[in-house]
């Protein structure tokens, strides 16, 4: 079964899955949640993140994506960090998450915090903080992260397939998936801008180059000159080559992504889909002309909003000692 057919089969379950797992419980989140119980927590996380980003700035993109993928499945509960077990395939091993990198950064930050304050700071909060710090360290925006999330104890690969927007999603599917998480159409347009520091394997968009409708054709919504360029990099069946989503500035967080999309040079169908809705198209056009003038501020606001999706707080969930394992 193709990934498109698999997505279609499960798409109607998105709303149901959200009703079960995605109800936000944000009243216990607040700035400085660990001020009394672990006052050095955020500083420790920031310093640990800096140690890795200073040596490998390209880690910022997968760390940001990891936070996004965490929040869209069961809410921002750190479930994406859990390892699979003998009896369960976890989110981490679902197809959309196989390209995630940077788990070692989260583990390092958690280890450093545990040494200072054992059993206090959740992996979910650490992931939210690391994502923020990594983005800010590559000239991206900085936002204040409300903390107080608790860690989930369940991670199911199938739920990642159901809840994560695939690269071939159309605008109707994207709007529905974001709406199911309490995120607006504007949030969709803004958070898609995270692709400004993204990279992709050729296999994620190869159908747009070689077999868009099953007849050996290309996607007519993509700039034909760009198709020619991409075909030189991505041969049929190529599953290893990596392409920059924002060529020339993929290591820097800026608004150039919108210029690429406006020129019909977005890599994914989900990028191109932003031109198929009045509101998202307006946002793309605005920042393609203004070079992302207010994008940083907008992105920060939408990240705070996304970081509150389906959180566990109070006595729900727990505080994992190791982010990859449920406490014994």
pLDDT tens by residue, 65-89: 999 999 999 999 999 999 999 999 9
Whole-angstrom Cα distance, residue 207 to residue 188? Answer: 23
pLDDT for 295 equals: 93
Sign of CA dihedral 75, 77, 81, 83: negative
Q: Which residues sit in the known binding site for substrate?
A: 165
Q: Which residues sit in the known binding site for Ca(2+)?
A: 70, 73, 75, 77, 79, 91, 196, 246, 254
pLDDT for 293 equals: 80
Q: How would residue 22 be classed by pLDDT, with cut points 50, 70 and 90?
A: very low
- Give the active site residues: 69
pLDDT for 26 equals: 58
Region 237-242: what's the mean pLDDT?
94
pLDDT tens by residue, 37-69: 999 999 999 999 999 999 999 999 999 999 999
Q: Which two tokens stand for residue 19?
A: 């009703």
Region 199-216: what's the mean pLDDT?
94
Decide if pLDDT at 3 tops 90.
no
Whole-angstrom Cα distance, residue 122 to residue 146? Answer: 13
Q: Report the chain's mean pLDDT, rounded to a whole number.
A: 92
Region 211-225: what's the mean pLDDT?
95
The string over 185-197, giving b where at least 16 C-beta atoms fall within 10 Å of a residue's C-beta and e elsewhere, is: bbbbbbbbbbbbb
Number of residues assigned to the chain = 328
Q: What is the pTM of this model?
A: 0.91
Q: Which residues sit in the known binding site?
A: 70, 73, 75, 77, 79, 91, 165, 195-196, 246, 254
pLDDT for 27 equals: 60
Region 102-122: what's the mean pLDDT?
98
pLDDT tens by residue, 145-164: 999 999 999 999 999 999 99
Q: How would residue 248 be classed by pLDDT, with cut points 50, 70 and 90?
A: confident
pLDDT for 194 equals: 95
Region 272-282: what's the mean pLDDT?
97
pLDDT for 21 equals: 40
Over pLDDT 90: what percentage of the chain? 85
Over pLDDT 70: what percentage of the chain? 92
Whole-angstrom Cα distance, residue 266 to residue 260? Answer: 6
């Amino acid at each position: 079964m193709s990934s498109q057919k698999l997505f279609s089969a499960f798409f109607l379950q998105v709303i149901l899955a959200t009703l079960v797992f995605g109800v936000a419980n944000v009243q216990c989140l607040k700035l400085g949640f660990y001020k009394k119980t672990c006052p050095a927590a955020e500083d420790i996380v920031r310093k640990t993140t800096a140690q890795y980003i200073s040596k490998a700035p390209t880690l910022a993109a997968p760390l940001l994506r990891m936070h996004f993928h965490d929040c869209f499945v069961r809410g921002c509960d750190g479930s994406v960090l859990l390892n699979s077990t003998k009896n369960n395939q976890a989110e981490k091993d679902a197809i959309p998450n196989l390209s995630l990198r940077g788990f070692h950064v989260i583990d390092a930050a958690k280890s450093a915090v545990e040494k200072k304050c054992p059993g206090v700071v959740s992996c979910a909060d650490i992931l939210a903080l690391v994502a923020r710090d990594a983005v800010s360290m590559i000239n991206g925006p900085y936002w204040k992260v409300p903390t107080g999330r608790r860690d989930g104890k369940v991670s199911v690969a199938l739920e990642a397939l159901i809840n994560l927007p695939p690269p071939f999603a159309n605008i109707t599917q994207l709007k529905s998936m974001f709406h199911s998480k309490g995120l607006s159409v504007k949030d969709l347009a803004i958070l898609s801008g995270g692709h400004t520091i993204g990279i992709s394997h050729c296999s994620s968009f190869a159908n747009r180059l070689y077999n868009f409708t099953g007849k050996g054709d290309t996607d007519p919504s993509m700039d034909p000159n760009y198709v020619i360029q991409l075909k030189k990099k991505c041969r049929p069946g190529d599953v290893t080559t990596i392409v920059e989503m924002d060529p020339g500035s993929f290591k820097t967080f800026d608004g150039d992504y919108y210029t690429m999309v406006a020129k019909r040079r977005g890599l994914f169908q989900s990028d191109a889909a932003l031109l198929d809705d009045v509101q998202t198209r307006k946002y793309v056009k605005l920042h393609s002309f203004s070079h992302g003038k207010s994008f940083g501020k907008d992105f920060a606001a939408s990240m705070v909003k996304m970081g509150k999706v389906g959180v566990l707080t109070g006595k729900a969930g727990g505080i994992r000692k190791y982010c990859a394992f449920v406490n014994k």
